[in-house]
């Protein structure tokens, strides 16, 4: 086979996206992940503190999930920093999926145990206005963030970024479940709505965890 210089197109295009466009998408992806890390750190702190004060299982669980997203966002920043190193990029994607998957499974076990214990003991959480506020804001912010991440993921063909956007979608579902449980408790005094909301999170969390541990979503990039 004759050796020679690479075709010009290989220097100007990658997976159908020009170098300049891909660079723009990577920069946008980094900005989204920095926002994810910052927002979820604040969301997690507020949720856990408010949850501990109010005795809310689902609110504490929501806060723990926020820090799982911080972990994922940090890994994505690493992955985007090495965007042009294909071998390293694939390794980071698979490692990130499996670490976050393990965290999700641990979180599902925690919420199932604590929610069941709360229901069995009839422990009534206090009303939590900060918890209601953070859940309401997340219901609005998370879908917009997830949509923006998906666009970047498709543009640079990143399985890890797709998985991260699914986590952000997942945060939207948790926010809605959490908000419903907290409002029912605050307005109607339905104390059991909070631990039931926690239980409702478990199958969603567990499925995401198992899929991530198995490397689901990485098949296209060949690192699964």
Angle, CA of 53, 57 and 59, to the nearest 5°: 70
Residue 125 has, within 13 A of its CA and on its CB side, a CA count of 36
pLDDT beyond 70 at 8: no
Mean pLDDT across the chain: 81
pLDDT beyond 60 at 1: no
Helices (H), the chain: 9-12, 19-54, 57-81, 86-121, 129-156, 159-188, 193-213
Cβ neighbourhood burial of 95 (10 Å; 0-12, 13-18, 19+): middle
Q: Which of the two residues, 4 and 140, has the higher pLDDT score?
A: 140
Contact indicator for 178, 58 with CB cutoff of 8 Å: yes
Q: Which of 27-41, 105-119, 175-189 has the highest mean pLDDT?
A: 27-41
Q: Each residue of 65-84: pLDDT tens digit?
A: 888 889 888 888 988 887 77
Among 44-58, 78-92, 93-107, 183-197, the minimum mean pLDDT is found in 78-92
Give the rounded percent of residues in the chain with a pLDDT score beyond 90.
Answer: 20
pTM (predicted TM-score) = 0.76
Q: What are the structural domains of the chain? A: 19-213 (1.20.1510)
Give the closest residue to 62 by CA, choosing from 213, 211, 210, 194.
194
Residue 119 has, within 13 A of its CA and on its CB side, a CA count of 15
Contact indicator for 98, 213 with CB cutoff of 8 Å: yes
Going from the C-alpha of 64 to that of each of 41, 119, 131, the distances in angstroms are 10, 20, 14
What was the pLDDT predicted at 159?
A: 76
pLDDT beyond 60 at 209: yes
Q: Each residue of 134-185: pLDDT tens digit?
A: 999 999 999 999 999 999 999 888 877 887 888 888 888 888 888 888 888 8
- Residue range 8-32: mean pLDDT, rounded: 69
pLDDT beyond 50 at 34: yes
């Amino acid at each position: 086979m004759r050796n020679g210089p690479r075709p010009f197109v290989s220097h100007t295009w990658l997976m159908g996206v020009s170098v300049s466009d891909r660079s723009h998408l990577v920069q946008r992806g980094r900005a989204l992940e920095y926002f994810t890390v910052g927002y979820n750190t604040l969301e997690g702190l507020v949720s856990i503190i408010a949850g501990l004060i109010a005795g809310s299982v689902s609110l504490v669980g929501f806060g723990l999930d926020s820090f799982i997203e911080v972990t994922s966002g940090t890994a994505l920043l690493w992955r985007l920093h090495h965007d042009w190193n294909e071998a390293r990029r694939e390794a980071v994607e698979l490692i990130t999926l499996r670490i976050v998957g393990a965290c999700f499974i641990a979180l599902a076990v925690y919420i199932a145990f604590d929610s069941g214990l709360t229901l069995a003991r009839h422990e009534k959480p206090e009303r939590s206005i900060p918890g209601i506020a953070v859940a309401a804001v997340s219901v609005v912010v998370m879908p917009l963030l997830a949509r923006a991440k998906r666009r970047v993921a498709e543009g640079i063909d990143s399985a890890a970024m797709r998985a991260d956007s699914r986590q952000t979608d997942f945060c939207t579902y948790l926010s809605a479940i959490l908000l419903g449980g907290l409002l029912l408790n605050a307005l109607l005094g339905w104390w059991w709505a909070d631990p039931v909301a926690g239980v409702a999170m478990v199958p969603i969390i567990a499925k995401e965890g198992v899929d991530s541990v198995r490397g689901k979503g990485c098949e296209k990039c060949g690192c699964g």
